[in-house]
Amino acid sequence: MPAGDSAGEAGLAPRLMRRIRITLAYDGGPFHGWQVQPGLATIQGTLEEIVSGMEGKPVHVAGSGRTDAGVHALGQVAAFSIENPIPLANLRRAVNRLLPPAIRVCSAEEVDAAFHPRFDAKAKTYEYRMAREEICSPFDWPFVHHYPYPLEEDRMARLAGVFEGEHDFSAFAASDDRDAEGHSKVRTIFSSVLTRDQDRLIYRVRGSGFLKHMVRNLVGTLIEAGRGNIGDTGFPLESGATSPAKGLVLVGVEY
Protein backbone atom coordinates (compact mmCIF):
# COMPACT_ATOMS: atom_id res chain seq x y z
CA MET A 1 0.00 0.00 0.00
CA PRO A 2 1.45 3.43 -0.89
CA ALA A 3 2.69 5.48 2.06
CA GLY A 4 0.31 8.30 1.12
CA ASP A 5 -2.70 6.00 1.41
CA SER A 6 -1.58 4.88 4.88
CA ALA A 7 -1.22 8.47 6.03
CA GLY A 8 -4.63 9.28 4.62
CA GLU A 9 -6.23 6.48 6.60
CA ALA A 10 -4.48 7.65 9.75
CA GLY A 11 -5.84 11.14 9.17
CA LEU A 12 -9.37 9.72 9.08
CA ALA A 13 -9.01 8.05 12.49
CA PRO A 14 -11.95 9.00 14.72
CA ARG A 15 -11.34 11.50 17.50
CA LEU A 16 -11.71 10.27 21.06
CA MET A 17 -14.78 11.24 23.07
CA ARG A 18 -13.96 13.41 26.10
CA ARG A 19 -16.08 13.88 29.22
CA ILE A 20 -15.79 17.47 30.44
CA ARG A 21 -16.84 18.63 33.89
CA ILE A 22 -17.38 22.36 34.40
CA THR A 23 -18.15 24.49 37.44
CA LEU A 24 -20.49 27.42 36.83
CA ALA A 25 -21.50 30.62 38.52
CA TYR A 26 -24.61 32.47 37.39
CA ASP A 27 -27.12 35.17 38.17
CA GLY A 28 -30.38 33.28 37.85
CA GLY A 29 -32.50 36.42 37.57
CA PRO A 30 -32.63 36.64 33.75
CA PHE A 31 -33.30 32.90 33.31
CA HIS A 32 -36.22 30.51 33.69
CA GLY A 33 -34.17 28.06 35.75
CA TRP A 34 -31.65 25.43 34.77
CA GLN A 35 -33.70 23.01 32.67
CA VAL A 36 -34.29 23.51 28.94
CA GLN A 37 -37.74 24.94 28.17
CA PRO A 38 -38.89 25.65 24.61
CA GLY A 39 -38.88 29.34 23.81
CA LEU A 40 -37.44 30.39 27.19
CA ALA A 41 -33.93 31.38 28.25
CA THR A 42 -32.46 28.75 30.59
CA ILE A 43 -28.96 27.98 31.85
CA GLN A 44 -28.88 24.49 30.34
CA GLY A 45 -30.34 25.65 27.04
CA THR A 46 -27.80 28.46 26.71
CA LEU A 47 -24.88 26.12 27.41
CA GLU A 48 -26.13 23.43 25.05
CA GLU A 49 -26.49 25.92 22.21
CA ILE A 50 -22.90 27.10 22.62
CA VAL A 51 -21.25 23.71 23.16
CA SER A 52 -23.25 22.15 20.32
CA GLY A 53 -22.09 24.93 18.01
CA MET A 54 -18.46 24.25 18.93
CA GLU A 55 -18.89 20.50 18.44
CA GLY A 56 -20.86 20.77 15.21
CA LYS A 57 -23.66 18.51 16.46
CA PRO A 58 -26.12 18.39 19.38
CA VAL A 59 -24.51 18.01 22.82
CA HIS A 60 -26.43 17.32 26.02
CA VAL A 61 -25.23 19.25 29.08
CA ALA A 62 -26.21 17.50 32.34
CA GLY A 63 -26.36 19.44 35.60
CA SER A 64 -26.08 18.47 39.25
CA GLY A 65 -29.66 19.63 39.75
CA ARG A 66 -32.43 21.81 38.37
CA THR A 67 -32.22 25.20 40.04
CA ASP A 68 -35.54 27.08 39.89
CA ALA A 69 -36.19 30.23 37.91
CA GLY A 70 -34.40 33.11 39.61
CA VAL A 71 -32.10 30.95 41.78
CA HIS A 72 -28.39 31.80 41.61
CA ALA A 73 -25.25 29.64 41.73
CA LEU A 74 -21.67 30.01 42.83
CA GLY A 75 -20.74 26.38 42.24
CA GLN A 76 -23.16 24.57 39.95
CA VAL A 77 -21.55 21.51 38.34
CA ALA A 78 -22.33 20.30 34.82
CA ALA A 79 -20.83 17.83 32.35
CA PHE A 80 -20.94 17.02 28.65
CA SER A 81 -19.18 14.73 26.17
CA ILE A 82 -17.41 16.06 23.07
CA GLU A 83 -14.89 14.93 20.48
CA ASN A 84 -13.43 18.40 19.96
CA PRO A 85 -9.73 18.27 21.01
CA ILE A 86 -9.60 21.92 22.16
CA PRO A 87 -7.43 22.35 25.31
CA LEU A 88 -9.40 22.86 28.50
CA ALA A 89 -8.20 26.42 29.14
CA ASN A 90 -9.13 27.41 25.58
CA LEU A 91 -12.50 25.67 25.93
CA ARG A 92 -13.30 27.64 29.08
CA ARG A 93 -12.29 30.92 27.45
CA ALA A 94 -14.20 30.17 24.25
CA VAL A 95 -17.42 29.26 26.07
CA ASN A 96 -17.18 32.34 28.30
CA ARG A 97 -16.75 34.58 25.25
CA LEU A 98 -20.03 33.24 23.86
CA LEU A 99 -22.01 33.14 27.11
CA PRO A 100 -24.02 36.13 28.36
CA PRO A 101 -22.28 37.96 31.22
CA ALA A 102 -24.75 36.48 33.73
CA ILE A 103 -23.18 33.01 33.30
CA ARG A 104 -19.50 32.16 33.77
CA VAL A 105 -17.59 28.89 33.47
CA CYS A 106 -15.20 29.05 36.44
CA SER A 107 -13.28 25.83 35.75
CA ALA A 108 -13.15 22.88 33.35
CA GLU A 109 -11.54 19.46 33.68
CA GLU A 110 -11.59 16.08 31.98
CA VAL A 111 -13.21 13.30 34.00
CA ASP A 112 -14.10 9.65 33.63
CA ALA A 113 -16.56 8.90 30.84
CA ALA A 114 -19.09 7.57 33.37
CA PHE A 115 -19.17 10.75 35.49
CA HIS A 116 -22.65 12.21 36.03
CA PRO A 117 -22.96 15.49 37.97
CA ARG A 118 -26.32 14.58 39.47
CA PHE A 119 -26.08 10.87 40.23
CA ASP A 120 -22.48 11.01 41.53
CA ALA A 121 -23.07 13.95 43.89
CA LYS A 122 -22.58 13.18 47.60
CA ALA A 123 -23.73 16.50 49.06
CA LYS A 124 -24.88 20.00 48.11
CA THR A 125 -24.74 23.26 50.00
CA TYR A 126 -27.21 26.11 49.60
CA GLU A 127 -27.38 29.55 51.18
CA TYR A 128 -30.46 31.69 51.58
CA ARG A 129 -29.91 35.40 52.25
CA MET A 130 -32.42 37.71 53.91
CA ALA A 131 -31.90 41.47 54.16
CA ARG A 132 -33.19 42.77 57.50
CA GLU A 133 -32.51 46.50 57.19
CA GLU A 134 -35.39 48.91 56.60
CA ILE A 135 -34.05 49.99 53.21
CA CYS A 136 -32.50 47.44 50.87
CA SER A 137 -29.87 48.73 48.46
CA PRO A 138 -30.85 48.35 44.80
CA PHE A 139 -27.47 46.67 44.29
CA ASP A 140 -28.42 43.96 46.82
CA TRP A 141 -32.08 43.64 45.85
CA PRO A 142 -31.64 41.05 43.04
CA PHE A 143 -29.77 38.67 45.36
CA VAL A 144 -31.60 38.80 48.71
CA HIS A 145 -35.09 38.43 50.15
CA HIS A 146 -35.83 41.79 51.77
CA TYR A 147 -37.71 41.14 55.01
CA PRO A 148 -37.54 44.16 57.39
CA TYR A 149 -40.39 43.02 59.65
CA PRO A 150 -40.02 41.82 63.28
CA LEU A 151 -38.77 38.24 63.72
CA GLU A 152 -37.69 36.16 66.72
CA GLU A 153 -34.33 35.23 65.23
CA ASP A 154 -33.29 33.03 68.18
CA ARG A 155 -36.39 30.89 67.66
CA MET A 156 -35.58 30.63 63.94
CA ALA A 157 -32.01 29.54 64.71
CA ARG A 158 -33.25 26.80 67.06
CA LEU A 159 -35.71 25.49 64.49
CA ALA A 160 -33.00 25.41 61.80
CA GLY A 161 -31.19 22.76 63.84
CA VAL A 162 -34.34 20.60 63.97
CA PHE A 163 -34.09 20.02 60.21
CA GLU A 164 -30.81 18.13 60.62
CA GLY A 165 -30.85 14.37 60.21
CA GLU A 166 -32.81 11.99 57.98
CA HIS A 167 -36.43 13.01 57.42
CA ASP A 168 -39.25 12.65 54.93
CA PHE A 169 -39.41 16.14 53.42
CA SER A 170 -42.59 15.57 51.39
CA ALA A 171 -44.31 18.48 53.16
CA PHE A 172 -41.53 20.79 51.98
CA ALA A 173 -41.55 19.77 48.31
CA ALA A 174 -43.45 21.34 45.44
CA SER A 175 -45.14 19.03 42.91
CA ASP A 176 -42.64 17.74 40.37
CA ASP A 177 -42.92 15.99 37.01
CA ARG A 178 -40.79 13.20 38.52
CA ASP A 179 -43.37 12.46 41.23
CA ALA A 180 -45.01 9.81 39.04
CA GLU A 181 -41.77 7.81 39.23
CA GLY A 182 -42.41 7.24 42.93
CA HIS A 183 -38.97 8.22 44.22
CA SER A 184 -38.47 8.57 47.96
CA LYS A 185 -38.61 12.08 49.42
CA VAL A 186 -36.45 11.13 52.36
CA ARG A 187 -33.30 13.27 52.50
CA THR A 188 -30.46 13.64 54.97
CA ILE A 189 -29.53 17.13 56.16
CA PHE A 190 -25.94 17.16 57.43
CA SER A 191 -26.04 20.72 58.74
CA SER A 192 -28.69 23.45 58.97
CA VAL A 193 -27.62 26.74 60.50
CA LEU A 194 -29.11 30.24 60.65
CA THR A 195 -26.72 33.07 61.51
CA ARG A 196 -26.77 36.87 61.60
CA ASP A 197 -24.13 38.75 59.57
CA GLN A 198 -24.59 42.48 60.12
CA ASP A 199 -27.90 43.32 58.37
CA ARG A 200 -28.26 39.85 56.85
CA LEU A 201 -29.77 36.59 58.04
CA ILE A 202 -27.90 33.74 56.36
CA TYR A 203 -29.42 30.26 56.28
CA ARG A 204 -26.84 27.69 55.20
CA VAL A 205 -27.91 24.09 54.63
CA ARG A 206 -25.86 21.09 53.47
CA GLY A 207 -27.59 17.84 52.55
CA SER A 208 -27.52 14.65 50.52
CA GLY A 209 -29.97 16.19 48.06
CA PHE A 210 -32.91 18.57 47.86
CA LEU A 211 -36.43 18.39 46.49
CA LYS A 212 -38.10 21.01 44.31
CA HIS A 213 -38.53 24.27 46.31
CA MET A 214 -37.34 22.43 49.44
CA VAL A 215 -34.82 25.01 50.68
CA ARG A 216 -37.17 27.89 49.92
CA ASN A 217 -39.92 26.12 51.86
CA LEU A 218 -37.58 25.46 54.79
CA VAL A 219 -36.84 29.20 54.86
CA GLY A 220 -40.55 29.99 54.73
CA THR A 221 -41.02 27.72 57.74
CA LEU A 222 -38.21 29.49 59.60
CA ILE A 223 -39.91 32.81 58.92
CA GLU A 224 -43.20 31.49 60.32
CA ALA A 225 -41.33 30.37 63.43
CA GLY A 226 -39.81 33.85 63.69
CA ARG A 227 -43.30 35.33 63.52
CA GLY A 228 -44.39 33.06 66.37
CA ASN A 229 -46.67 30.87 64.28
CA ILE A 230 -44.60 27.64 64.49
CA GLY A 231 -42.78 26.09 67.45
CA ASP A 232 -39.04 25.60 67.47
CA THR A 233 -38.92 21.97 68.67
CA GLY A 234 -39.83 18.77 66.88
CA PHE A 235 -39.76 18.20 63.16
CA PRO A 236 -42.50 20.41 61.58
CA LEU A 237 -45.30 18.61 59.76
CA GLU A 238 -46.31 21.59 57.63
CA SER A 239 -44.29 23.99 55.53
CA GLY A 240 -44.41 27.75 55.57
CA ALA A 241 -44.88 29.76 52.38
CA THR A 242 -42.28 29.37 49.65
CA SER A 243 -39.68 32.13 49.95
CA PRO A 244 -38.64 34.13 46.86
CA ALA A 245 -36.12 32.46 44.58
CA LYS A 246 -33.78 35.43 44.37
CA GLY A 247 -32.48 34.92 47.91
CA LEU A 248 -31.22 31.38 47.16
CA VAL A 249 -27.70 30.45 46.00
CA LEU A 250 -26.29 27.01 45.18
CA VAL A 251 -22.91 27.32 46.88
CA GLY A 252 -21.31 24.03 45.86
CA VAL A 253 -21.59 20.33 45.07
CA GLU A 254 -19.41 17.61 46.60
CA TYR A 255 -18.30 14.35 44.97
Please, which residues bridge with residue 130 across strands?
Answer: 145, 201
Q: Which residues contact 151 (CB under 8 A, 6 or more apart)?
A: 132, 201, 223, 226, 227
Catalytic residue among 27, 68, 120, 140: 68
Q: Which residues contact 87 (CB under 8 A, 6 or more apart)?
A: none
Class of domain 14-111: alpha beta
Q: What is the pTM of this model?
A: 0.90
Looking at domain 123-254, which of 3.40.718.10, 3.40.50.1820, 2.30.30.60, 3.30.70.660 is its CATH number?
3.30.70.660
Summary mean pLDDT of the chain = 93
- What pLDDT, on a 0 to 100 scale, did the predictor assign at position 8? 46
Per-residue model confidence as pLDDT tens digits over 74-112: 999 999 999 999 999 999 999 999 999 999 999 999 999
Domain residue ranges in the chain: 14-111, 123-254
Q: 28 or 238: which carries more pLDDT confidence?
A: 28
Integer angstrom CA distances of residue 219 from 31, 62, 99, 156, 234: 22, 28, 32, 9, 16
- What pLDDT, on a 0 to 100 scale, did the predictor assign at position 78? 98
Per-residue model confidence as pLDDT tens digits over 27-80: 999 999 999 999 999 999 999 999 999 999 999 999 999 999 999 999 999 999
Within a 10 A sphere around the Cβ of 148, how many other Cβ atoms? Answer: 13
Per-residue model confidence as pLDDT tens digits over 168-186: 999 999 887 676 677 899 9
| 197 tagged catalytic | no
Whether the predicted pLDDT of 187 surpasses 90: yes
- What pLDDT, on a 0 to 100 scale, did the predictor assign at position 98? 98
Distance, in Å, from the CA atom of 201 to the CA atom of 183, rounded to the nearest integer, reads: 33
Per-residue model confidence as pLDDT tens digits over 104-157: 999 999 999 999 999 999 999 999 999 999 999 999 999 999 999 999 999 999
Distance, in Å, from the CA atom of 241 to the CA atom of 187, rounded to the nearest integer, reads: 20
CA dihedral 27, 25, 129, 66 (to 10 degrees): 80
Distance, in Å, from the CA atom of 204 to the CA atom of 245, rounded to the nearest integer, reads: 15
Say which DSSP state 26 is in: E
- What pLDDT, on a 0 to 100 scale, did the predictor assign at position 12? 54
Angle formed at CA 252 by CA 250 and CA 255, multiple of 5 degrees: 135
